Amino acid sequence: FPGDDAREFWVRAEDRNRETAVCYDKLGMAEYAAMEAFVRYHY
């Protein structure tokens, strides 16, 4: 859900992927923007 963000979906996705790549790089992992990250949801 975009909320107040008027950007296209693919633009938001690229930004999220770029931010995730930077976080992985800071952890010493590969800085790879196409890497998928998964979040575990506890119900």
Q: Residue 14 has what pLDDT? A: 87
Q: What is the pLDDT of residue 37?
A: 63
Q: What are the distances in angstroms from CA 12 to CA 25, 31, 41? A: 20, 18, 22
pLDDT computed for residue 33 by the predictor: 65
Residue 11 and residue 17: Cα distance in Å, rounded?
10
d(CA 30, CA 11): 22
Report pLDDT digits (tens) over 1-43: 567 888 888 898 888 888 888 888 888 887 676 666 667 778 7
Residue 35: per-residue pLDDT: 64
